[in-house]
Amino acid sequence: MDIRHTFGNNLKHYRTQANMSQAALAVKMGIDRAHVSAMERGQQNVTIVTLWHVAQALDVEPAALLENRRESQNVVNK
């Protein structure tokens, strides 16, 4: 899967897990809600510093935002 979609899917997963709206995350990061939405739709080739700021705002490890969770989930569901 394209890394931008992997990042977007993980961003949405951890944001909703934290019960945070796109708007709340945008405010916390000082960016526009539309930018959060575009990142979640896999349309942003973000830099690793931006990814780092997202991870800090969601209180997750940066690497977690690039994890291929579908594979790790398959292993769990077996």
Q: Which residues bind its own copies (CB under 8 A)?
A: 3-4, 6-7, 45-49, 51-52, 61-64, 66-68
Q: Which is nearer to its own copies, 8 or 22 (CB)?
A: 8
Name which of 21 and 56 has its Cβ closer to its own copies. 56
Q: Which residues, 6+ apart, have CB-to-CB distance to 39 below 8 Å?
A: 7, 8, 11, 46, 54
- In angstroms, what is the minimal distance from the CB of 54 to its own copies? 11
Nearest-angstrom CA–CA distance, 3 and 23: 24
- The Cα 41–Cα 75 span in angstroms is 25
Smallest distance, Å, CB 55 to its own copies? 8
